[in-house]
Amino acid sequence: MVSLYNLEKEKEIDLEYVVIMVKHGEEWILARHQDRSSWEFAGGHIEVGETPEQAAARELFEETGAEQFSIVPITIYKVTMDDAPGSYGKLFFANVEQFAELPPYEMAEIKGFTDIPTNLTYPLIYPTLILKVQDFINSSSSAAR
């Protein structure tokens, strides 16, 4: 289960993860891990001494090769499975202007999609986060008119 919280919640909890939903022009950019056939958005653990913003920028580069980009925090999320206490993360949205070569870490490839693919690595988590980012994009584009 995924729960969403206002960004102010960050002051009350320990964040463990970041997820970055990425667009380049009109396409969603997803990566395929070298050990999987499914697609995923950039993201991962926040390292010791890192802010969520630093972790998001690092993961975005490591997993997509994004070189020039703008990135915006969207929401705090909590993922709970079964009886586990759950973990908190921070969701970001990034618009990428330019990519470098994909770094030789864990991702095999990146690909642009007009529509988000159905074979996602985290199918129980992503739909809620995708809707939140789409709401942000829609409200941003209508505010710009």
The verdict on residue 24 lying in a domain is: yes
pLDDT at position 144 over 70: no
Q: Please give the model's pTM, rounded to 2 decimal places.
A: 0.94
Residue 81 is part of which domain span?
2-114+122-133
pLDDT at position 143 over 90: no
The verdict on residue 70 lying in a domain is: yes
The verdict on residue 98 lying in a domain is: yes
In the chain, how many domains are there? 1
Q: Rounded to an integer, what distance in angstroms lies between the CA atom of residue 91 and that of residue 49?
A: 19
The verdict on residue 77 lying in a domain is: yes
pLDDT at position 145 over 60: no
Q: Rounded to an integer, what distance in angstroms lies between the CA atom of residue 7 and that of residue 4?
A: 9
pLDDT at position 13 over 90: yes
Residue 48: CATH number of its domain: 3.90.79.10
Rg of the chain over all Cα atoms, to the nearest angstrom: 15
The verdict on residue 142 lying in a domain is: no
What is the DSSP secondary structure assignment for residue 48, as one 8-state letter? Answer: T
Q: Rounded to an integer, what distance in angstroms lies between the CA atom of residue 138 and that of residue 145?
A: 11
What is the token pair recorded at 133?
A: 């980012």
The verdict on residue 139 lying in a domain is: no
The verdict on residue 145 lying in a domain is: no
Q: Which of 53-62, 74-83, 91-100 shows the lowest mean pLDDT across its residues?
A: 74-83
Q: What is the pLDDT of residue 124?
A: 92
The verdict on residue 140 lying in a domain is: no
8, 50, 41: which is closest to 129 by C-alpha?
Answer: 41
Q: Are 75 and 4 in contact (CB under 8 A)?
A: yes
Kindly give, in sequence order, each residue whose CB lies less than 8 Å from that of residue 82, ignoring residues fewer than 6 positions away.
none
pLDDT at position 51 over 60: yes
The beta strand positions in the chain, using DSSP E, are: 2-5, 15-24, 27-33, 42-45, 66-79, 87-99, 107-113
